[in-house]
Structure 1
Amino acid sequence: MTSKTPAAEPNDLGKYFIERANAGDVDGLVALYEPDAVLAFPPGNLATGHAEIREVYEQFLAAAPVLTPGRQHPVLVSNDLALTASTLTTGEVAVEIARRQPDGTWLWTLDQPVLIP
């Protein structure tokens, strides 16, 4: 299963992340990122670009985690950039930078999914 519904709003990315991760949809997760995006996960590691991000999520989803939506914070938008943040159910905070694409949709360009509370 692959879902590539584009994010019309920056906070759609977080919602789609939970849906796609719970569905085991690696391709759908990768589709949330720009081709040269940087993902800081697992903590202490950086994955750059779709190929490396795919490897991270293949390993992550191999354990079949069940993710629960946290609390999304109001998005902060400046022109074509947006700062998104969520407090996860674990109390950790995830922060991302999204960029508006030429077609008006949004993709993450920087993703720091786990910060110390």
Structure 2
Amino acid sequence: MPESAKHPEPATTPEDLGRLFVARANAGDVDGLLALYEPDAVLATPAGPATGTQAIRAAFTALLADRPTFTPGEPRPTLRAGDLALTSTRLDGGGLTVEVARRRRDGTWRWVIDQPRAAG
């Protein structure tokens, strides 16, 4: 099944990524989460960096196993430089996420680096 059929709402701006992450995580949609990341992306985890689709899949499968609930935080202003964007979100319980997103040829955005707990 083509990705567009599975996930009809792509991230058309870097700011979309955080909102789509929360919705897909709350739905337990690991494949939907992976669609927000480049195949060679790096995700910071407590066990160390998860690099690439398979490692990120394993990290999200473990994270979502107990069906946690994610709440949207307060998005911080996005910094853009051409096809790159630095996004961040202040979390409700304290802490800050920081991500680097890249615009793809089709105009959609995906994360290439994700630090879900940059400060806490």
Using the size of structure 2 for normalisation, the TM-score is 0.92
* 1:114 counterpart = 2:117: yes
Q: Which runs of 5+ in 1 are unaligned?
A: none
Q: 1:94 — aligned with what?
A: 97
Q: TM-score under structure 1 normalisation?
A: 0.94
* CA–CA separation in structure 2 for the residues paired with 1:47 and 1:4: 26
The residue aligned with 1:105 is 108
| Counterpart position of 2:20 | 16
1:16-69 Cα distance to aligned partner (Å, 9 max, x none): 00000000000000110000000002x351100011000000000001000110
What corresponds to 1:50 in structure 2? 53
Structure 2: state its 5+ residue gaps: 1-5
Identity over aligned pairs, percent = 53
Asked if the contact 2:10/2:108 (under 8 Å) is kept, the reply is: yes
- Runs of 4+ residues over 6 Å off in structure 1: none
